[in-house]
Amino acid sequence: MKPSPIEAEVFVRSFIPGVEKRADELKSISGEYTRWTRAIKLWLGETSAVYGCRPIYSDGSAMREFMLDLVWWNGLGGRAELACESEFGNLRDPKGNAGRVAEDFDKLLNFKAPFKLMIFDSYGARKDGSNPNRDAVLTELNRYLREYGDHRIGEQYVLVDMCSGKSAAWLCLILQEGEDTTLTFKPIPVD
């Protein structure tokens, strides 16, 4: 697979504040997660041109989502450069959120693009600093990564937890073809 022109750490450092700013501008939109989803799509849509791509996503009208929330398509190379899924889960059932995020992450595993972005919200840490929802998502996504058997060298998987005030990100760079039971997401700096 041709390497991605997107450098994960640089991308994340502009993505988080950029999306937070867009979400703040969209406060008039009803539905907290509708607002965040729209902010993500707008920011990624605007940023796609920097990488010579055009964004493909549903805009909330009658058009239904094809498979992913958003794709950056490079017409010159005829391929997807970025594939994105977001899953904000359900505050009433936070224990089920790791499974919801993993279902969407499974789509990214099967879609071929050199840069794969999964966005979620863990809903914050406890007073003692632990974040069991975040830990559950990371555990489940690491399991999915290790069990998947069709990785391509050069794929970058980036996770972003848009947790209010405590955003975090992780990267897994694929270094060998096929299954790799040693894969794990490693934290990347967000500021």
> Regarding beta strands 168-173 and 186-188, do their DSSP bridges make them parallel or antiparallel, or are they unpaired?
antiparallel
DSSP string, 10-77: HHHHHHHHHHHHHHHHTTTSSSHHHHHHHHHHHHHHHHGGGGT-EEE---SSSPPP-SSSEEEEETTT
Segment 21-42 shows an average pLDDT of: 85
Collapsing DSSP states into helix, strand and coil, what is residue 1?
Answer: coil
> For residue 62, what pLDDT band results from cuts at 50, 70 and 90?
very low
pLDDT tens digits along 71-122: 999 987 689 999 999 998 766 666 678 899 999 999 999 999 999 999 998 8
pLDDT one-digit tens code per residue, 111-156 = 999 999 999 988 776 777 778 889 999 999 999 999 999 999 999 9
Query: Dihedral, CA atoms, 157, 138, 41, 5, nearest 10 degrees?
Result: -20
Domain residue spans in the chain?
A: 8-188
Contact 184, 176 (CB under 8 A): no
Question: Which neighbouring-strand residues pair with 170?
Answer: 159, 187
pTM: 0.91
- β-sheet bridge partners, residue 123: none
